[in-house]
Structure 1
Amino acid sequence: MLSKLKIYLGINDDSQDDLLTLLLDMANDIIKAYCYCSDEELATIPDYTKIRIASALHKKRRGEGLKARNQGSRSTQYDDILSDDIKLSLNQYRRVRGAF
């Protein structure tokens, strides 16, 4: 999946492989938290969804996706990592959490 992420981001060398691997791990953790799924269930979620989340994390790290910025009292706000279309893709894998 690392090679797919590099193609998606237009990265042609190996200089960012450690960072991109970390971002893919973070994307997996975000998906597991959002969907309440196990590692086995995570494997059924399409790679392109994981790549899009890792890409959003990469852009956020570089300061892209900034929605608002106020210098006065230092308020910075980014677009949500899980955009509406990503949430829509993930909702079919999401488990309903019951009250126990």
Structure 2
Amino acid sequence: MELAKLKVLLGIEDDSKDVILEFVIADVEEIIKNYCHVEEMPDGLVNTGYRMAMDLYRNENIGSETAAVGTVSSISEGDTSTSFQQYVDNNFKDTVLKNYKSSLNRYRKVAWK
């Protein structure tokens, strides 16, 4: 997986998030290799890896000192009111493979403990 491609997919134009994105790429590759019981990431899972990396980056608030939480804030000024809501899937960490298992299972090998 390539850092430059992930940045384009996420719409990131500067280099300020490179270390975070490199961590996300390494984490996704590790997850895929561990789940599939392989030493190298299969070529057929590269796009799935990018999708997983995008989801991890967006849902886990990596690089922030505070954990991502779903909050609602409201701003009122005169007769104008604006509300902002940040959606965070609190169960995302537990289900990181859920949406990708069908793709990953095609490359999964049997492993003995």
Equivalent in the alignment of 1:96: 110
Amino acid at match of 1:7: V
Report how many residues are paired: 87
- Partners of 1:88 and 1:43 in 2: CA distance: 15
Structure 1: stretches of 5+ with no match in the other structure: 68-76
Amino acid at match of 1:16: K
- The one of 81, 89, 92 equivalent to 2:96 is 81
Q: Max radius of gyration: which structure?
A: 2
Contact 2:45 2:103 in 1 (8 A): no
- Partners of 1:58 and 1:30 in 2: CA distance: 14
Amino acid at match of 2:8: I
Q: Offset at 1:65?
A: 6.4
Contact 2:42 2:107 in 1 (8 A): no
What is the DSSP-based 3-state SS (H/G/I as helix, E as strand, rest coil) of the residue aligned with 2:107? Answer: coil
- Partners of 1:92 and 1:82 in 2: CA distance: 14
Equivalent in the alignment of 2:12: 11
What is the DSSP-based 3-state SS (H/G/I as helix, E as strand, rest coil) of the residue aligned with 2:57? Answer: helix
Equivalent in the alignment of 1:29: 30
- Following TM superposition, where does structure 1 have runs of at least 4 consecutive aligned residues deviating by more than 4 angstroms? none
Identity between Structure 1 and Structure 2 (%): 33
TM-score normalized by structure 1?
0.73
Structure 2: stretches of 5+ with no match in the other structure: 62-67, 69-85
Equivalent in the alignment of 1:59: 58
Q: CA RMSD in A?
A: 2.0
Amino acid at match of 1:83: K
Q: Offset at 1:61?
A: 2.2
Q: Deviations over 1:11-38 (max 9, x none)?
A: 1111101110110000000001110111
Q: Offset at 1:43?
A: 4.2
